[in-house]
Structure 1
Amino acid sequence: MSTVLACLDGSIYSGSVAEHAAWAARRLGASVELLQVLGRRDSASGDRSGRVFVDGQQRLLEQLAEMDAERFKLLQANARLVLEAARQRIEALGVCEIAVTLRTGDLIETMAEREETAEIVVVGKRGEAADFAKLHLGSNLERIVRSSRRPVLIAARAFREPKRALIAFDGRSKAQEMIAAIAEARLLGDAQCDLVTIGAETAEGRRRLDDASARLKGGGLRVTARFEQGQPERTIPEIVARDGIDLLVMGAYGHSQLRSLVLGSTTSEVIRGSLVSALVFR
């Protein structure tokens, strides 16, 4: 059985990540693995060997080390509570096969190991330290999308079951691979899919858009295909708001206006400006 890998960090997005994971698991017939990784810095108090101390400083540093150890125990206890709350939430939504993993180390290294059997990765749009006023994305989001070999479902603050999805398509080879993956999966089976290319319509662009539409329809999806004028970073969020889109589907890859996911790039701007969840392919 394939797995939905849901990454938690204790932020207010944890509940939404759990609900998105449950939805994806039901659609894919998959189990769920809940993963939380505590950083190595959380468990370390620093190397003080070789230092020269004045009277009393040694004892003070020992007390600081003891406080670090106690703090890490509290972080572990809190992480277990977060994971258990998510497990109960997913179970209540009808998913019974749920694994829970708490690790200390590097998030990306741990994900590379755990996603071997995963069909999709779920992560919150913003983390525990995000700046909501500026709509900053979570500090780990770019790292996860760049490193993951699986599609990444980026959960908005509140879960909304996708009834209508916007698929941003630029016609290039990576976008065509994304279309093939969507057509083969069962994730969007119940949703109305709006397949949209941003930019001026050309004969070649129309052919590629029609081919992509036919491929999705061949996978049993309900699809409408069209061109929209404008720039992706502005036009896509406008479409999301105007048309009542529940899920944005797009690529994070090189070339064209939908280029690599880096802070300040088109893809990042689109995800930041769209107040819905996003399914991102590399």
Structure 2
Amino acid sequence: MTHVLACIDGSAQAAAVCDCAAWASRRLGAPLTLLHVLDQQQYPVSGDLSGIIGLGSREFLLQELATLDERRAKLALEEGRMLLDSARQRAIMAGVAQPECRQRHGDLVETLHELQDETRLLVIGRQGEDSGDAIQHIGSQLESVIRALHRPILVTPGRFAAPQSLMLAFDGSATSRKGVELLTGSPLFRDMPIHLVMVGSETGDAQAQLEAARDRLSASGFEVHIAVRNGDVEPTLHGYQAEHGIDLLVMGAYGHSRIRQFFVGSTTTSMIRTTSTPLLLLR
């Protein structure tokens, strides 16, 4: 798990993905890999059309269509190379010494799963190139990627600015405690004020869990703020984030507790869709 892996495509968010990945690569001291996947459904590999011989007048048309598909695939491949080259130059300008470029023909989720063992952090845009222009629309494959990978995933909106503070949605679960350990040991978050926010009733147990997490982070030199807020998870977290000007949200993905459960179903889509800052999802 050594590389920061960035998904580059032809969407308007590709620049933000590149900038975010370059920032993470520098902070982590990890190599940056820029990945472009040519969708095999949109640009399939040309097949053997010998089975159509004997169809008479249709044969010529089918051959022409096959040739056209091959040309489209070649153009898409070249476009992908140009996108990667542009992203590489942008990353170099941002201070990354030797970003690597990879291009694959296949399924995005399957490709990311294959590269999972060498991935330390995945950076991906909220929208892909097929997502349209709607600002709050999310990419059709994003949820599948989140479900399939067991690596931290940093989702970027349309613009990226280096975060100066962060909030961890904390619920006392094993995932959120793991999040505390990640914050403690990762150079990605060094020198950032951290807000630990629990959504739920303000009980003695909740306060004790927050204080234990705060003490763990404080011992590592972080400035830590804790809070318990009542309300629905999504608006409560976004409200606290806006109130305190926090520009990076960290949360666990999947599970059964109140905070983690909202990552199953429509609330996941809503949370990712409505965030205006990078969102780091932990597995």
Please give the TM-score of this superposition, normalised by the length of structure 2: 0.92
Assess if the C-alpha contact under 8 Å between 1:142 and 1:262 holds in 2: no
Letter in 2 for 1:77: E
CA distance in 1 between counterparts of 2:134 and 2:123 reads: 23
Assess if the C-alpha contact under 8 Å between 2:20 and 2:160 holds in 1: yes
Assess if the C-alpha contact under 8 Å between 1:7 and 1:34 holds in 2: yes
CA distance in 2 between counterparts of 1:220 and 1:145 reads: 31
- Structure 2 match to 1:191: 192
Assess if the C-alpha contact under 8 Å between 1:4 and 1:119 holds in 2: yes
Residue 224 in structure 1 maps to residue 251 in structure 2 = no
Which is further off, 131-140 or 25-34?
131-140
- Please point out which of 260, 263, 274 is paired with 1:261: 263
**1:178 Cα deviation from its structure 2 partner:** 1.6
**1:163 Cα deviation from its structure 2 partner:** 0.7
Q: Name the SS of the counterpart of 2:249 in structure 1.
A: strand
* Residue pairs, 1:88-167, within 5 angstroms: 88-133=89-134, 135-167=136-168
Q: Name the SS of the counterpart of 2:195 in structure 1.
A: strand
- Structure 1 pair 84–262 and aligned structure 2 pair: CA distance change class (3 A): farther
- Structure 1 match to 2:64: 63
- Structure 1 pair 204–2 and aligned structure 2 pair: CA distance change class (3 A): same
Structure 2 gaps, min length 5: none
Assess if the C-alpha contact under 8 Å between 2:121 and 2:152 holds in 1: yes
Percent of aligned positions that are identical: 38
CA distance in 2 between counterparts of 1:222 and 1:33 reads: 32
Matched pairs, number = 281
Assess if the C-alpha contact under 8 Å between 1:232 and 1:270 holds in 2: no
Letter in 2 for 1:86: A
Residues 232-258 of structure 1 show CA distances to partners (whole Å, capped at 9, x for unaligned) of 122112222332221111111211222
- Structure 2 match to 1:178: 179
Assess if the C-alpha contact under 8 Å between 1:174 and 1:253 holds in 2: no
Residues 127-156 of structure 1 show CA distances to partners (whole Å, capped at 9, x for unaligned) of 112244371211121122112221001111
Assess if the C-alpha contact under 8 Å between 2:157 and 2:275 holds in 1: no
Assess if the C-alpha contact under 8 Å between 1:248 and 1:277 holds in 2: yes
CA distance in 1 between counterparts of 2:54 and 2:265 reads: 44
Letter in 2 for 1:143: S
CA distance in 1 between counterparts of 2:159 and 2:7 reads: 16
CA distance in 2 between counterparts of 1:273 and 1:105 reads: 30
CA distance in 1 between counterparts of 2:60 and 2:161 reads: 54
CA distance in 1 between counterparts of 2:126 and 2:202 reads: 32
Q: CA RMSD in A?
A: 2.0
Residue 84 in structure 1 maps to residue 85 in structure 2 = yes
Assess if the C-alpha contact under 8 Å between 1:168 and 1:249 holds in 2: yes
CA distance in 2 between counterparts of 1:263 and 1:230 reads: 19
Letter in 2 for 1:11: S
Which is further off, 75-84 or 220-229?
220-229
Assess if the C-alpha contact under 8 Å between 2:196 and 2:224 holds in 1: yes
- Structure 1 pair 230–260 and aligned structure 2 pair: CA distance change class (3 A): closer
Assess if the C-alpha contact under 8 Å between 1:5 and 1:115 holds in 2: no
